[in-house]
Chain A
Amino acid sequence: MTNTWILRGIIHRKKTEKRYDSDGLVLTKGITLGLPFVKKQVSSENAIQLVSICPTQALVYENNKLNVYPERCIRCDRCVEDNLSPIVMTNDQPSVRWSNPDNSVLLPHQFRRSIHIRIVDAGDCGGCYNEVRQLNNPFYNMHRFGFFITPTPRNADVLMVVGSGTRQMQYALQATYEAMPTPKIVIAVGTCALSGNMWSKSLTGGTGIKNVIPVDVEVMGSPPTPLTIIQSLFSITGRQMPASIISSKTEPPEMKRD
């Protein structure tokens, strides 16, 4: 029997993770690197140099400013390797964000206590999906919050998508979205689902699922931690609106293809 977590739970009293630290921030410190943040502006040569080493065009030099779009970042750490780099990785940044600035992302009050989630793997490498799979294990135990995974979109309120939306999966994704009853929320999990990651340059890789179906909630990180994903679910049920959710965003410039 490998599945002895109930026994272990009884022996060790408790296995589930806390969701917040004392400051009310999502517990991600030490688990992930965090998201890049531009500390100070630098000269244009340095900036262009930095932009050129970013593999996913998360760093953009526009209007004489170095901007970073965290939804494209894969935390490869290339830009912060140099100690003098103007970019730092920080955990203070929000990892969950709503695509629409208004409250239309919030599910009606009937869904406060229980939502059903349909998970679609739209061509991910296994990383994000692995994190999504952790949601059900004893450490994160999503069920205790009333979040359930359902195998059919007919019963689902939330569509959680991982992967870049490859060409093969675009029809299935669309069909899944159409098969869901309203109100429906789409959560895009991971950099691939948000921007297509490095594959966006290829023909069949897909450039993020927002080109296929409308995305309501973006969960950043490559992959995001399970707690972050739970965070996103909490935000759409309206049970907790932590400060880490910003509702405004600027669209990044279009990806350059080779």
Chain B
Amino acid sequence: MTAALIMLIISLSSCVITAIGALLVRRSYISHVLAVGGSIISLCALAAGWIMLANPTLQHSVSYLTLPLAGHLSLRLNRLSGMFLIVFGLVCLPISIFSLRYLEKMLKNYSLRFYGVWYSSLLFSIVLILIAGDIITFFTAWELMSVTSALLVAYEHKNDKGPAAGWLMLITSETGALAFLGSFILLAVNAHTLQFSGILAHPGSFSPGLRAIIFVLSFFGFATKTGLVPVNFWLPRAHPEAPGPISALLSAFILNCGIYGIFLINVVLLPVRSVWIGVAVMTIGTVTAILGILYASISDDIKTVLAHSSSENMGLMTIATGAGMIFLASHAPVLAGIGFMVAIFQMTNHSIYKALLFLCAAAVHRQTNTRSLDKLGGLIKAMPWTSGTFLIGALSISALPPFSGFTSEWLLIQTLLQATTLHSTALELACAIAAVFVGLTAALSITCFVRVFSMGFLGHPRTQTAKNAKEIPHSMRYSLGLLAMLCIGIGILPTICIPIFSRALSPGVNSVAVSNSLIPPFFSQIGHSFLNPNFQRSFLNIGAGIGQHTLPGSSMVILHQGGTANPVTFATSPFYGVFVLILLLLLTRLAVKIITRNRTKLTVPAWTGGMRKLLPEMTYTSTAFAKPVNVIFQSVIHNRTVIEERDAVHEHFRSVIHRHVKESHIIDRYFLEPIGKIVVSIANTIAKLHTGRIKHYSTLVLFTFVTTLIIAIFV
């Protein structure tokens, strides 16, 4: 444990050193300082996280400061924070390497000094949030994170949208922070301590009503950061405007902080006891997922697509968390563990592939100066490295085997379908509906990323800048390659990752039971306690045990176990699947070759509809590709209102028709705009007091004085 602490202290102090370094060194070296500092921070966080996750010691609190009124302030090292630190390290390392050369572009217009300070403070605050052991540390770190991330989003202040997005992000973030501060205060007041470990030790002192209030406040508070419906309106506005590495960090990790908060309060500190809270969480997750992917499928800006898709992935995680809560409340601890494990699995996957995709988008933006898919195209020839890694990221996010998103989404659907064991029709129905929507989301995300990849990277370049794009420098390529390798690695070897992920939530969840129930011990002995030996033998007969002497882990198969009648409900093996996939591809190739061996092959120019020359602008654009989704889900999206203004001469002879297209998000229409209207009407009502006459104001002053006196006397 001390090793982890030392690593964390190195990590935190290198944040401070990086910030000071960014202030002191010559301008052209700031990016180097940030890259080296960021790498050290993330490597130390990775090491600390690994030690914490692997350590059997479950809880460890270190108090570092004693305040006069609040008592000890402490750091709390446990497995959950270890898991998040690992993800942070995995994501932050490539981002730091990437930003080394990326920042050169910004150096022309902006001084990077304060970028460096904000960036290292952001990393500092993230690490501190993850290891905070008491409410004050957590909240301070959270505020630091909110402010610095908003400042970083607004860093490119010479375009108008950046500062506006930063403000919006700050406002929502602060609202959320206030909400969960309320829940923290309720927790602290009822447990009489500010320490998380202290709250954990007094679980009995909360009535169901209080629990519900704490849940609502904390969930709403963290949902603003996570980007769940209906408080995700800031997400697609802020993420695209941030500088490349920052939007990657925002999407890939800072959204996870919200998930961390939800886990901390609703799973670790105050485990959910009501099924309906789980159903509510699952519903919110479902709506978020489906809305996120719908808007992702129709957006034109590549970074907006990615931001909406982040929202979708957060929705999937929330569905998994909700399912876990349902199982937890219905006393099915193993299934609950699987649910939470899937949430963490999905989170890790999302962090990695979303960092990859955002960095690719940043690379494209750096080389072509545009993010509009309609203006890109044909980048695969100019930027093969970026395109290749983007393809891997897109395949992962589309949940296609053997890439990383597949196993988590598959497990998510399977876990939802396990609700049949709960013997409650309402819950079964809720979970089944959620599973259907997860399926729809997965299908739509394939559509979405086929569109992004084909329109952005394949075909003809649609503009001159896209045509003249050059490949990114080496250091950026390596960081993309690192993330792409992680995508493939997790995708092929989920059986090795699942035990690690399932460990994150122990002791609340029995990690051994979770990993054992998913990964049958084919590689160990036959006749294990929870698998029928005959049954296991029949699996081994079809080759489930291939490689049992060379491969690590307990098997390469993931399966969901049913009752005694049908021991296995579903099974998959991405590892063996890779070989089958390669074999199938080769066989198909061979079959095609054999079938077509006698055919004459004609090579003629592409059919262009009889045009003499196919201009790039004439090719299929991303807007056109998104049209079917737009039409099918018109009733949900309904995103544009067209306002026509007709100018006429002498009121009769029409001269001009102006068309204004107003686009609005469904959340804006049904959540943000009504709130805005209410606020404005309240303000208008209050403004009636301002008559501008001195006698009215003096009456008001008198009235206030009297009221205050009355309150002072009676209270």
Query: Which A residues form the contact surface with B (CB < 8 A)?
Result: 120, 152-154, 171-173, 175-176, 178-179, 181-182
* Chain A binder among B167-175, B530-538, B600-608: B600-608
B610 interfacial contact with A, CB 8 Å = yes
Q: Are B612 and A178 touching (Cβ within 8 A)?
A: no
Interface size class of B (residues with CB under 8 A): under 10
Q: Are A179 and B607 touching (Cβ within 8 A)?
A: yes
Q: Are A176 and B602 touching (Cβ within 8 A)?
A: no
Q: Are B610 and A178 touching (Cβ within 8 A)?
A: no
Enumerate the 3 nearest inter-chain pairs by beta-carbon distance, A residue then B residue, closest first: A172-B610, A179-B607, A178-B604
Q: How far is the CA of A181 from the CA of B601 in the complex (A)?
A: 9
Q: How far is the CA of A182 from the CA of B602 in the complex (A)?
A: 9
Q: How far is the CA of A175 from the CA of B605 in the complex (A)?
A: 9
Q: How far is the CA of A179 from the CA of B608 in the complex (A)?
A: 9
Residues of A within 8 A of B605 (CB): 175, 178-179
Q: How far is the CA of A120 from the CA of B610 in the complex (A)?
A: 10
A169: nearest residue on chain B (CB-CB)?
Answer: B610
Select which of B600, B602, B608 is within 8 A of A175 by beta carbon: B608
Select which of B600, B608, B610, B612 is within 8 A of A182 by beta carbon: B600
Q: How far is the CA of A257 from the CA of B604 in the complex (A)?
A: 36
Known contacts: A182-B600, A182-B602. The answer to whether A152 contacts B610 by CB under 8 A is no
Residues of B within 8 A of A152 (CB): 607
Q: How far is the CA of A153 from the CA of B610 in the complex (A)?
A: 10
Q: Are A171 and B612 touching (Cβ within 8 A)?
A: yes
Residues of B within 8 A of A179 (CB): 604-605, 607
Q: How far is the CA of A181 from the CA of B596 in the complex (A)?
A: 14
Q: Are A153 and B600 touching (Cβ within 8 A)?
A: no
B573 CB to nearest chain A CB (Å) = 40
Known: A175-B607, A181-B602. 10 other contacts (CB 8 A): A152-B607, A153-B607, A154-B607, A171-B610, A171-B612, A172-B611, A178-B604, A178-B605, A179-B605, A179-B607
B596 CB to nearest chain A CB (Å) = 12
Residues of A within 8 A of B611 (CB): 172
A119 CB to nearest chain B CB (Å) = 13
Interface residues of B in 611-652 (CB under 8 A from A): 611-612
Q: How far is the CA of A152 from the CA of B608 in the complex (A)?
A: 10
A95 CB to nearest chain B CB (Å) = 29
Residues of B within 8 A of A154 (CB): 607
Residues of B within 8 A of A120 (CB): 610
Residues of B within 8 A of A181 (CB): 602
A118 CB to nearest chain B CB (Å) = 11
Residues of A within 8 A of B610 (CB): 120, 171-173, 175-176
Residues of A within 8 A of B607 (CB): 152-154, 175, 179
Q: How far is the CA of A117 from the CA of B605 in the complex (A)?
A: 20
A149 CB to nearest chain B CB (Å) = 16
Q: How far is the CA of A154 from the CA of B605 in the complex (A)?
A: 11
Residues of B within 8 A of A171 (CB): 610, 612
Interface residues of B in 576-613 (CB under 8 A from A): 600, 602, 604-605, 607-608, 610-612
B608: nearest residue on chain A (CB-CB)?
Answer: A175
A172: nearest residue on chain B (CB-CB)?
Answer: B610
Q: How far is the CA of A30 from the CA of B600 in the complex (A)?
A: 47
A-B contact pairs, 5 of them (CB 8 A): A120-B610, A152-B607, A153-B607, A175-B608, A182-B602
